[in-house]
């Protein structure tokens, strides 16, 4: 099979999405340039420009990010340096190399006041520093690189690195009561599915902003409930309110993403979040044994 790309770079290649992104790109590219934090500091403009000048990638998936939502409230300069200035640096380098760019953003650019799924053309208004820094990255990249996909996603989990699913399963081992927020609604997204859709986008010239998350919606409590159900675990689980579970950074109460741009541009819909979760658990041998019908 002929490769559709020559060289494709992935920043943040050691992260949860970055690892799956590199795997998804391998069948489609002659070479995947996996740049983790040690290989490339995206906050260093000269280092980024030099790396692109040497390797001349045809495309770059910029997944390197500062993702500590609560800690960002205490260190906003660092969050903006990585998420906004880092995006500017990669955008400048991509434009100089004539490369396509994917900037991975977040549902947290929205305030959470909507009561129906949010499409790509609605106004953003983040309510925490992390969301503000990611929106800053969107603005800077869109003003500097001509061939750009902004991909907003939500509630990521995957095989590599810490995530909500792993946290819930670890808490279950302790046999103690588990309290999870029940009044924040969004959509869990499997990094494998996100990476595959990003590859589909890169194969086209259909630039713009896209919402890419698994289909459907749930609360964090309902997400936890389904995790334990599929894993066959009996736990003392109950829902609490955001007010009862105060954290430094406020979260959007509702950040379900509508996939309008995928639909109108002719891309296939994302599968539902429960099917994706089941595959993740099966892949990690965490899915309970499902009973099979007896054949007569």
Residues with catalytic function: 130
Cβ pair 135, 126 in contact under 8 A: yes
Strands 218-219 and 59-62: unpaired
CA angle 161, 164, 165 (to 5 degrees): 90
The residues, ordered by sequence, that sit 6+ positions from 212 with a Cβ below 8 Å of its Cβ are 151, 152, 153, 189, 194, 197, 198, 257, 259, 262, 270
The DSSP secondary-structure symbol of 155 reads S
Strand 59-62 vs strand 5-11: parallel, antiparallel, or unpaired?
parallel
Tokens (6 digits) for 192: 């494998």
């Amino acid at each position: 099979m002929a490769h559709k790309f020559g060289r494709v770079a992935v920043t943040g290649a050691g992260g949860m999405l970055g690892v799956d992104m590199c795997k998804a790109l391998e069948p489609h590219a002659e070479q995947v340039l996996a740049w983790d934090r040690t290989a490339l500091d995206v906050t260093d403009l000269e280092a980024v420009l030099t790396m692109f000048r040497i390797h001349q990638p045809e495309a770059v998936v910029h997944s390197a990010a500062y993702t500590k939502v609560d800690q960002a409230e205490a260190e906003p300069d660092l969050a903006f340096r990585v998420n906004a200035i880092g995006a500017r640096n990669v955008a400048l380098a991509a434009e100089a190399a004539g490369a396509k760019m994917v900037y991975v953003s977040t549902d947290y650019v929205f305030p959470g006041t909507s009561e129906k799924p949010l499409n790509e053309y609605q106004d953003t208004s983040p309510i925490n520093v992390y969301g503000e820094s990611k929106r800053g990255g969107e603005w800077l990249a869109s003003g500097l690189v001509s061939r750009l996909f902004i991909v907003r996603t939500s509630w990521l989990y995957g095989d590599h690195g810490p995530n909500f699913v792993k946290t819930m399963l670890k808490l279950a081992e302790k046999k103690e009561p588990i309290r999870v927020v029940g009044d924040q609604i969004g959509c869990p997204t499997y990094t494998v599915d996100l990476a595959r859709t990003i590859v589909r986008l890169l194969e086209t010239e259909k630039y713009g902003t896209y919402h890419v998350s698994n289909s459907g919606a749930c609360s964090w409590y309902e997400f936890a409930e389904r995790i334990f159900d599929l894993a066959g675990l009996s736990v003392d689980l109950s829902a609490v309110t955001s007010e009862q579970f105060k954290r430094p950074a406020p979260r959007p109460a509702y950040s379900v993403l509508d996939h309008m741009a995928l639909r109108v541009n002719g891309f296939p819909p994302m599968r539902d979040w429960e099917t994706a979760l089941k595959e993740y658990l099966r892949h990690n041998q965490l899915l309970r044994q499902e009973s099979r019908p007896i054949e007569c």
